[in-house]
Structure 1
Amino acid sequence: MFKQRGAKKTGLNILIIGCGKVGTALTRQLCKEGHDITVIDKNADKVEMNVNQYDVMGICGNGASYSVLMEAGVENADLVIAVTNSDELNLLCCTIAKQGRDCATVARVRNPDYSKEIKYLKKSLGLTMVINPELETATEVARVLYMPTALEINSFAHGQAEMTKIKIPEHNMLDGLSVAHLGQQLMDRAKNINILICAVERDGEVYIPSGHFKLHAGDVLSFVGSRPMSRAFLDFIGFKTNRVSDAMIVGGGDVAYYLASQLINMGINVKIIEKEKDRCERLSILLPKAVIINADGTDQDVLKEEGLSNAESFVALTGIDEENILLTLHARHVSDAKTITKINRSNFKEIINNLNLGSVFYPSFITAETITAYVRAKSNTRSMNSSVQTLYHMFDFRVEAIEFRVDEASEVTGKPLMDLKLKKDVLIAFINRNGTIITPSGHDTIEVGDTAMVVTTHTGFNDIRDILV
């Protein structure tokens, strides 16, 4: 199955092997950003769906076949991304692709055994990137359980800075407070806590707030700061900042394994409920400090018997989205636990957002964003020294938070921020200078060697200079 694209685009030539959830998420995002995409999958229906929905070419075939790759144009490819359901096939696809052209290659690798050997695999197979959706998801979930009053926490500047999303409750001190007034209170009453409110969602609309913007109960806001500053701010506005002491996890797949490993290292007690006996035996060997229960986690009596009503956190990680949603709704009904829900499909994202599930994680989006950040850095042809370091989409892809690495002087560097002519709805959220996070004022400057994070409703920024009018 094959379809010719429309007009030639100005981006990279990219082959995406695998049209599952991750492959489709990547196709949607990278096509929107102006890249020439060719998708490859053995399943003709999946190829046809992508070809009909997006401006891409599609080939039905084995992505590890040299002839199929040649038909797909691998000799002209800038990047090959292998995200099939098989780790081995992904590695093989990338290896064979490099025989046709010495292009960049990205492989999805999920098996914990392979994940321990990522450095070796990258070096020996010449891979540009190895991405593990389950591990990335587990890491993001662990961050939230460390700060359970947050809906979401994203890491920047190699962990030195965090973007935290919260919902303002009724009668909170933020209700009715302007951003500027809050800033003054943080200076006067809170021992100079430095955070910056970057984006606010209210009644379905997203705002990059100015100082005059007034916050209200029910707003969902994202703020950025160093980890100590973020914790101090949450404490100041009356949010609990202590991590959970225990976690009940339903579903014993790879995400559960990675998450349990991290939580145990943080000193958090872990209980996993998994209905497959063989998997339970495997987990008991891999996680000797966790409590492994062989039972049906969707059974309310099992959850009651295992102490759901007293659990501090509940994480639904089964392979079925509907089960995860119902489990979370039940947990919120019978307990005060911090709830985490893993969702694989994105079809009903708007409806899911209205279900009050607590923190919701989409592994396919997490993977797509990591790869998209790399693609943006690679596609920046204006400067080989200034590129995208980290990228997160916020509020259903309506806002982007982008961390740029600045390795050369430009019209952005060395000037007070107040003198830069920024595009509308662009906010410089922090400057990372040698590991020190600076919450910028108008007098601060971006210098060579810094990284700087930009929050914007624009899309497709590839270079720090894109923030200018």
Structure 2
Amino acid sequence: MLKKNSLARHGLNIIIVGCGKVGTTLVQQLCKEGHKITIVDKDPSTVQELTNLYDIMGIIGNGASYSVQIEAGISSADLFIAVTASDELNLLCCTIAKRVGDCSAIARVRTPDYSKEVGYLRDRLGLAMIINPELEAAREAARILYLPTALEVNSFAHGQVEMIKFKIPEGNLLDGMTVAHLGRHITNAVLICVVQRGAELHIPGGDFQLAKGDIISFVCPRRMTRSFLECIGVKTKRVSNTMIIGGGKGAYYLGNQLIQMGISVKIIEINRARCEELSTLLPNAIVINGDGTDEELLKEEGIEYAESVVALTGIDEENVLLTLHARQVSNAKVITKLNRISFHDVISQLDLGSVIYPRLITSEAIIAYVRAKTNSKDSNNIETLYHLFDSRVEAVEFRVEKESAVIGVPLRKLPIRKSLLVAFINRNGRIIIPSGNDCIHVGDTVMVVTTHQELMDIRDILR
């Protein structure tokens, strides 16, 4: 066993099996939030590296082994997370953990065969969550292609509210307009939550003046998103065709969703056997066997005329180059999948369009669950959590379950923390974009946007 000198001050006792990209991201975030972490991995160098970097315990071994789980402290664990590269191993680890310990269990499962059975597996195995990063990334990409002006589209209130990120173009109606003017004279159904101007981030007040080149995120009821964008002169027509480069699991999930939306799909994949498999799985897609990094092939397959290009190879550098090439030779909407989260400054300067990080999608869902469980072991009070603008901003949707100091008081009278915005209130399915006179009630779900990290409960919005 590799052991650090001290452990986290408080929080949950969490075991993480699998220290790849997702496991490492979880360790980084959960350590920061004060949890006691034990990692399990077969690779001694990986365990050594992480235990040297973070205040955690490390076990070298097979996470599905009863004796390894006992050594890791399963009997006193609050949460068990299995994120190895194998779906079957993750499910087996969680099954054993549920039998041996009295803890919640989360498994990462990516295979399409299992994705159709998530509800059954979760219920039968007694798991708190089964998460599929490729499927979730595909859903995010599909939402963007449905609204191609957007850089990001995040969903809240079970799909009733969207948070849209886009760049204000030159000559746009919003250029020079204050946030208050937008609410009073254009529409009060939209709230600007975050503005990025150069390297600076702002949670804007009413007197904040928008400008061309600003990257903004706004919330809006889903049914009104298109009409608002059209009102300010932004095109909202969804793409009619897409070229997907790379034929992995993510390409299957995305292709399947786009075909169901009536969008034509062409997939370029270098592996012949995988092409044959995709042709069977997606009979309505065009599947091309070839090297997606070959300029001549891309030209032959019509990249210059594609309305959208999605780079989904397993190599980040290839995805970046493919996106830059697509932007150079076409007017396509581009989406780039990146697995690593390094070189943020370089990536942001490359203007890659919409960038999707599957590992962040996975870790955000798990961290939302952990925060809710930390706050109350019997109550899962965080509905949704997203990290925005390179994780400098959080958007958290809370379920308000009990009386507290925030209940029944007009928002303008609450001592709300600086750099924090109450973005919407969902009251029995009715979406309220709040004014200072609106109150939060028990039973509401409330979305908060803030530069503060680690909000655990709706009461944390107060100073």
Shared fold by TM > 0.5? Answer: yes
SS in 1 for 2:452: coil
Provide the residue aligned with 2:151 in structure 1.
Answer: 151
SS in 2 for 1:279: helix
Structure-2 separation of matches of 1:394 and 1:5: 34
Q: CA deviation at 1:248?
A: 0.3
- CA offsets, 1:406-458, max 9 Å, x none? 12222211221112111111110000111111100111111111101011111
- Choose 341-350 or 138-147, whichever is displaced more: 341-350
Task: Please point out which of 421, 425, 434 is paired with 1:427.
Answer: 421
Task: Please point out which of 384, 394, 398 is paired with 1:400.
Answer: 394
- CA offsets, 1:40-72, max 9 Å, x none? 111112112222222211111111111111111
User: Does residue 244 in structure 1 map to residue 239 in structure 2?
Assistant: yes
SS in 2 for 1:107: strand
Q: CA deviation at 1:255?
A: 0.4
Provide the residue aligned with 2:75 in structure 1.
Answer: 75
- CA offsets, 1:196-250, max 9 Å, x none? 0001111211111001111122211100011122222211221111110001000
User: Does residue 460 in structure 1 map to residue 454 in structure 2?
Assistant: yes
Provide the residue aligned with 1:189 in structure 2.
Answer: none
TM-score scaled by length of structure 1: 0.97
Structure-2 separation of matches of 1:157 and 1:466: 20
Structure-2 separation of matches of 1:258 and 1:434: 32
SS in 1 for 2:381: strand
Q: For 2:257, give the aligned amino acid.
A: Q
Structure-2 separation of matches of 1:179 and 1:66: 57
User: Does residue 272 in structure 1 map to residue 267 in structure 2?
Assistant: yes
Task: Please point out which of 430, 434, 438 is paired with 1:440.
Answer: 434
Structure-1 separation of matches of 2:188 and 2:326: 35
Q: CA deviation at 1:385?
A: 4.9
Provide the residue aligned with 2:86 in structure 1.
Answer: 86
Structure-2 separation of matches of 1:174 and 1:37: 46
Q: Is the 8 A contact 1:155 1:163 kept in 2?
A: yes
Provide the residue aligned with 1:234 in structure 2.
Answer: 229
User: Does residue 351 in structure 1 map to residue 346 in structure 2?
Assistant: yes
- Choose 448-457 or 176-185, whichever is displaced more: 176-185
Structure-1 separation of matches of 2:106 and 2:309: 33
Task: Please point out which of 338, 357, 362 is paired with 1:362.
Answer: 357
Identity of aligned residues (%): 63
Q: CA deviation at 1:266?
A: 0.6
Task: Please point out which of 289, 305, 316 is paired with 1:321.
Answer: 316
Provide the residue aligned with 1:417 in structure 2.
Answer: 411
Q: CA deviation at 1:7?
A: 4.6
1:87-126 pair list within 5 angstroms: 87-126=87-126
Q: For 2:439, give the aligned amino acid.
A: T
- The unaligned stretches of length 5 or more in structure 1 are 187-191
Q: Is the 8 A contact 1:386 1:407 kept in 2?
A: no
Q: For 2:206, give the aligned amino acid.
A: G
Change (3 A) 1:321 1:8: closer
Structure-1 separation of matches of 2:439 and 2:429: 16
Q: Is the 8 A contact 1:250 1:297 kept in 2?
A: yes
User: Does residue 309 in structure 1 map to residue 309 in structure 2?
Assistant: no
1:114-263 pair list within 5 angstroms: 114-186=114-186, 192=187, 194-263=189-258
Structure-2 separation of matches of 1:333 and 1:327: 10
Structure-2 separation of matches of 1:59 and 1:281: 41
Q: CA deviation at 1:193?
A: 5.1
Structure-1 separation of matches of 2:267 and 2:67: 45
Q: Is the 8 A contact 1:431 1:446 kept in 2?
A: yes
Structure-2 separation of matches of 1:296 and 1:8: 48
SS in 2 for 1:14: strand
Change (3 A) 1:386 1:37: closer
Structure-2 separation of matches of 1:72 and 1:7: 14
Structure-1 separation of matches of 2:195 and 2:438: 24
User: Does residue 53 in structure 1 map to residue 53 in structure 2?
Assistant: yes
Structure-2 separation of matches of 1:78 and 1:91: 18
SS in 2 for 1:52: helix
Structure-1 separation of matches of 2:188 and 2:438: 17
Structure-2 separation of matches of 1:162 and 1:367: 19
Structure-2 separation of matches of 1:7 and 1:273: 48
How large is the Cα RMSD of the aligned pairs?
1.3
Provide the residue aligned with 2:20 in structure 1.
Answer: 20
Q: Is the 8 A contact 2:182 2:188 kept in 1?
A: no
SS in 1 for 2:48: helix
- The unaligned stretches of length 5 or more in structure 2 are none
Provide the residue aligned with 2:371 in structure 1.
Answer: 376
Q: For 1:155, give the aligned amino acid.
A: S
SS in 2 for 1:319: coil
User: Does residue 284 in structure 1 map to residue 279 in structure 2?
Assistant: yes
Q: For 1:422, give the aligned amino acid.
A: I
Change (3 A) 1:193 1:416: closer
Structure-2 separation of matches of 1:234 and 1:39: 46
Count of residues paired in the alignment: 463
Runs of 4 or more above 3 Å deviation: 383-386
Structure-1 separation of matches of 2:162 and 2:451: 19
SS in 2 for 1:230: helix
Q: Is the 8 A contact 2:369 2:380 kept in 1?
A: no
Provide the residue aligned with 1:30 in structure 2.
Answer: 30
Provide the residue aligned with 1:65 in structure 2.
Answer: 65
Q: For 1:160, give the aligned amino acid.
A: Q
TM-score scaled by length of structure 2: 0.98
SS in 2 for 1:368: helix
Q: Is the 8 A contact 1:385 1:406 kept in 2?
A: no
Q: Is the 8 A contact 1:385 1:408 kept in 2?
A: no
SS in 1 for 2:236: coil
